[in-house]
Amino acid sequence: MARVASSSSSSWSSSALHALAGRVAPFQSAPRSLDLSRTPLRRWGRVGGLRSLAAGANPMRWIPPLRRSEDVKVETDAARNSSSDSAGPAQKSEFPEFPNRNFSRQVAVASTIAAVSLFLSSRLEFGVSLKDLAVNAIPYEVALSNGMPTVVEFYADWCEVCRELAPDVYKIEEQYKGRVNFVMLNVDNTKWEQELDEFGVEGIPHFAFLDRNGNEEGNVVGKLPKKFLQENVAALANGEPSIPHARVVGQFSSAEARKVHQVADPRSHG
């Protein structure tokens, strides 16, 4: 058995060598300048190469040479940097930076100021009442003795026109505070009967404009545009000899209705 095996092995090797010699012979005349690094023999080794040649592999098929690890590393780093650069703007746009605390504090302060301003403006437009004007008014006796021009308003709590004009009157008072006296006299108060007759009050609201000496320059009665009242007050504050609107009458409430609402309150100047 050993001889048979040896003989078959020797026979196989001889046949393989003959086949190899038959295939390699045509290439023995290749020039010496042949680049063996581009042939399969460089990577196959002795045993694997011989067997592949014996099996009929094409020895001229080109297999790219191995690349150095340094080249692979450089290309990998370059690809990584390129991918990070391309993904950078998308990540920044997808995740914007949050504002810092100072910015948030500024926004909160600005919002608070805006809310307060809105509240005050709404207060001026809708929240001012005749009671507010009466509380802030200067007593009539004081106004006649402090040497400043005076605006006297005759009003009543039940007067619809008086309530409508209250916001405009308040704005003008705030504008000329300290330069012009603003007096509120309630026609329902029997204390002011003499003043009602003196100024000839028949309708309310009735605005009487007095100079620094207490002399009447003119009057405006009823609901009129704001400019009539404002221009008269400006003339008094500037010390002009006359007012532009000395006698103007608009929609008003009759003062005769005061007889139903009269009260005796000598302690009140309103």
Q: What's the CATH number where 216 sits?
A: 3.40.30.10
146 exposure class (CB count in 10 Å sphere: 0-12, 13-18, 19+): exposed
* Residue 113 pLDDT > 60: yes
Instruction: For residue 236, give the nearest of 157, 147, 105 by alpha carbon.
Output: 147
Residues contacting 176, CB < 8 A, separation 6+: 233, 234, 237
Domain that includes residue 167, residue range: 146-254
pLDDT value of residue 232? 97
Task: Report the DSSP pairing between strands 150-155 and 181-186.
Answer: parallel
Whether 31 maps to a domain, the answer reads no
Whether 261 maps to a domain, the answer reads no
Whether 46 maps to a domain, the answer reads no
- Chain position carrying tokens 């997808």: 94
Is residue 125 part of the annotated active site? The answer reads: no
What span, in angstroms and rounded, lies between the C-alpha atoms of 250 and 165? 12
What span, in angstroms and rounded, lies between the C-alpha atoms of 115 and 123? 12
Structure tokens that stand for 202 in this block = 């028949």
- Adjacent-strand bridge partners of 251: 223
Whether 244 maps to a domain, the answer reads yes
Q: Of 109-118, 171-180, 237-246, which range is least confident? A: 109-118
Whether 70 maps to a domain, the answer reads no
pLDDT value of residue 1? 42
Whether 202 maps to a domain, the answer reads yes
| Residue 233 binned pLDDT confidence (cut-offs 50, 70, 90) | very high
Which of 162, 165, 243, 255 is the catalytic position?
162
Is residue 264 part of the annotated active site? The answer reads: no
% the chain with pLDDT above 90: 46
| Residue 107 binned pLDDT confidence (cut-offs 50, 70, 90) | confident
| Residue 29 binned pLDDT confidence (cut-offs 50, 70, 90) | very low
* Residue 188 pLDDT > 60: yes
pLDDT value of residue 250? 94
Instruction: For residue 195, give the nearest of 158, 156, 149, 154 by alpha carbon.
Output: 154
Query: Per residue in 131-149, pLDDT tens?
Result: 999 999 999 999 999 999 9
- Per-residue burial over 115-138, b if 16 or more Cβ lie within 10 Å, else e, is eeeeeeeeeeeeebebeebbeebb
Query: Per residue in 42-58, pLDDT tens?
Result: 444 444 444 444 445 55
Whether 141 maps to a domain, the answer reads no
- Count of residues making up the chain: 270
What span, in angstroms and rounded, lies between the C-alpha atoms of 161 and 156? 10
Please, what is the average pLDDT of the chain?
74
State mean pLDDT over 251-258.
Answer: 85
The structural domain count of the chain equals: 1
Bond into 266 cis (ω within 30): no
Phi/psi of residue 155, nearest 5 degrees: -145, 175
Which of 159, 166, 184, 234 is the catalytic position?
159
SS (H, E, C) the chain: CHHHHHHHHHHHHHHHHHHHHHHHHHHCCCCCCCCHHHCCHHHHCHHHHHHHHHHCCCCCCCCCCCCCHHHHHHHHHHHHHHHHHHHHHHHHHHCCCCCCHHHHHHHHHHHHHHHHHHHHHHHHHHHCCHHHHHHHCCCHHHHCCCCCCEEEEEECCCCHHHHHHHHHHHHHHHHCCCCCEEEEEECCEHHHHHHHHHHCCCEECEEEEECCCCCEEEEEECECCHHHHHHHHHHHHCCCCCCCCCEEECECEEHHHHHHHCECCCCCCC
pLDDT value of residue 96? 54
Whether 42 maps to a domain, the answer reads no
